[in-house]
């Protein structure tokens, strides 16, 4: 005989303890009931309205955002703020990378001949009988050296620094439009933006103060006095790159440029002479310079001749041509009491540096 809780027919077969045993562990609390999508009508509602046994409840609306939504919004805000912070303040910057561009320090030394400047109308013979006989022509004389990565710069970054330095050499000493045409933009666009004011001041107000001489930035002749007898300028030299710190590459160049010159507007049969410029340049690159294909020129040491020591070589070079001799007198006087002044220098051009014609 079944118990009070058992159905009259007894416990169904195959279900020990009856069907209720399946739901004994389930607790239907108030939240469960409130979340139900279906609601049973009361007996009175079913009698009066003749409605179905159940009705669909409208979704439960809760005021404000759920906890998950709030967390998601907070995470998005944090990520966005972090991205802005990282863009404004790069995590890998250090004080060395933020330092301003260093002003170019330059020295231009004219070299005076020890007699008449030799010359001939045959330019090829002029070169063949000079120390520049084996020099290459134009940009071919500025080959890139073998390079490899450094501790903090990749192979590509080192090559980029070398290419930029080469471009500067080619534009500042081998471009006829710069050398005799007075153009400056091809050189200016390769400079770090922090040096542009110094560069512009050098050409607007040339001064032999070791900071603002145009001939420290580039090779520049006076076109009213000389012209190129041969546009194929000879050059030979070396380049090397090295890392100075974790954020800076330095490229050092040392090249000798040889120009065949004759008087401006002269006949092609006029005698030509050779003019030699030795340039030792130090370039500095940070990662922004490498990305922008620009350079910071920090040191320029220039020797050029044949020149007259009495001539001002700051703004333009005034070469002595075939048959000419240096004027009497030395360089401009140096005032040891002037603050920030640089000594006026002049050298003597060795006879072996001149062609034997």
Instruction: Give tens-digit pLDDT for 234-253.
Output: 999 999 999 999 899 999 99
Q: What pLDDT was estimated at residue 269?
A: 85
CA 58, distance to chain mean position in Å, is 64
What pLDDT is stored for residue 92 in this prediction? Answer: 46
Bridge-based pairing state of the strands 347-348 and 296-305: unpaired
Q: Could you tell me if 241 and 147 are in contact, meaning their C-beta atoms sit under 8 angstroms apart? A: yes
Instruction: Using only the alpha carbons of the chain, give its radius of gyration.
Output: 42
- Rounded to whole angstroms, the Cα distance separating 353 from 69 reads 82
Quote the CA–CA distance of 344 and 314 in Å, as a whole number: 11
The predicted pLDDT at position 35 comes to 63
pLDDT number for residue 38: 60
What pLDDT was estimated at residue 174? Answer: 97
Q: What is the mean pLDDT of residues 127-131?
A: 96
Give the residue carrying structure tokens 């002044």: 341
CA distances from 77 to 15, 70, 81, 90, 151 (A): 55, 11, 6, 20, 37
The predicted structure's pLDDT at residue 95? 45
In angstroms, the CA 226 to CA 237 distance is 25
| Residue 355 confidence (pLDDT) above 80 | yes
Percentage of the chain modeled with pLDDT above 90 = 59
Q: Which residue has the higher pLDDT, 151 or 32?
A: 151
> Taking the model in full, what pTM does it have?
0.72
Average pLDDT, rounded, for the chain: 84
Residue 20 has pLDDT above 90, yes or no: no
**Per residue in 21-58, pLDDT tens?**
555 555 656 666 666 666 666 666 666 655 566 566 66
Tell whether the torsion through CA atoms of 191, 197, 201 and 202 is positive or negative.
Answer: negative
Confidence band for 256, pLDDT divided at 50, 70 and 90: very high
Quote the pLDDT of residue 85. 64
C-alpha distances in Å from residue 68, one per residue of 63, 77, 81, 129, 306? 14, 14, 20, 87, 82
- pLDDT of amino acid 64: 53
DSSP conformation class of 5? T
pLDDT band at 101 (very low <50, low <70, confident <90, very high): confident
**pLDDT at 18 exceeding the cut of 70:** no
pLDDT value of residue 177:
95
Q: Could you say which DSSP state residue 282 is in?
A: E
CA distance 195 to 182: 20
- Distance (Å, whole) CA 192 – CA 285: 9
What is the enclosing helix (H) or strand (E) of 261?
A: strand 248-263
In the three-class reduction of DSSP (H, G, I as helix; E, B as strand; rest coil), residue 82 is classed as helix
pLDDT band of residue 290 (cuts 50, 70, 90) is: very high
Measure CA 87 to chain center.
19
What is the DSSP secondary structure assignment for residue 258, as one 8-state letter? E
User: pLDDT confidence of 102, banded at 50, 70, 90?
Assistant: confident
């Amino acid at each position: 005989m079944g118990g009070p809780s058992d159905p009259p027919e007894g416990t169904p077969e195959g279900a020990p303890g009856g069907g209720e045993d399946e739901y004994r562990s389930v607790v239907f609390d108030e939240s469960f009931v409130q979340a139900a999508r279906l609601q049973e009508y009361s007996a009175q509602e079913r009698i009066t309205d003749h409605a179905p046994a159940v009705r669909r409840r409208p979704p439960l609306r809760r005021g404000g955002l759920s906890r998950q939504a709030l967390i998601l919004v907070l995470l998005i805000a944090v990520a966005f703020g972090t991205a802005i912070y990282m863009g404004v303040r790069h995590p890998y910057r250090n004080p060395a990378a933020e330092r301003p561009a260093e002003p170019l320090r330059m020295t231009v030394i004219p070299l005076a001949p020890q007699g008449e400047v030799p010359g001939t109308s045959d330019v090829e013979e002029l070169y063949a009988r000079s120390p520049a006989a084996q020099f290459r022509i134009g940009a071919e004389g500025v080959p890139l050296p073998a390079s490899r990565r450094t501790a903090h710069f990749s192979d590509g970054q080192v090559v980029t620094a070398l290419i930029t330095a080469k471009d500067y050499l080619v534009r500042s000493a081998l471009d006829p439009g710069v050398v005799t045409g007075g153009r400056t933009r091809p050189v200016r666009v390769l400079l770090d933006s922090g040096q542009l004011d110094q560069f512009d001041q050098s050409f607007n107000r040339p001064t032999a103060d070791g900071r603002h001489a145009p001939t420290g930035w580039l090779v520049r002749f006076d076109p009213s006095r000389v012209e190129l007898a041969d546009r194929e300028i000879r050059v030979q030299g070396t380049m090397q790159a090295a890392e100075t710190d974790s954020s800076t590459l330095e490229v050092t160049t040392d090249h000798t440029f040889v120009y065949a010159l004759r008087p401006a507007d002269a006949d092609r049969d006029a005698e030509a002479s050779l003019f030699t410029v030795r340039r030792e340049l130090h370039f500095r690159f940070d990662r922004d310079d490498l990305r922008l294909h620009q350079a910071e020129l920090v040191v320029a040491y220039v020797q050029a001749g044949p020149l007259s020591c009495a001539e001002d070589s700051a703004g333009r070079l005034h070469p002595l041509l075939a048959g000419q001799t240096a004027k009497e007198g030395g360089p401009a006087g140096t005032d040891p009491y002037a603050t920030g002044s640089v000594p006026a220098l002049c050298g003597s051009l060795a006879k072996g540096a001149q062609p034997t014609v």
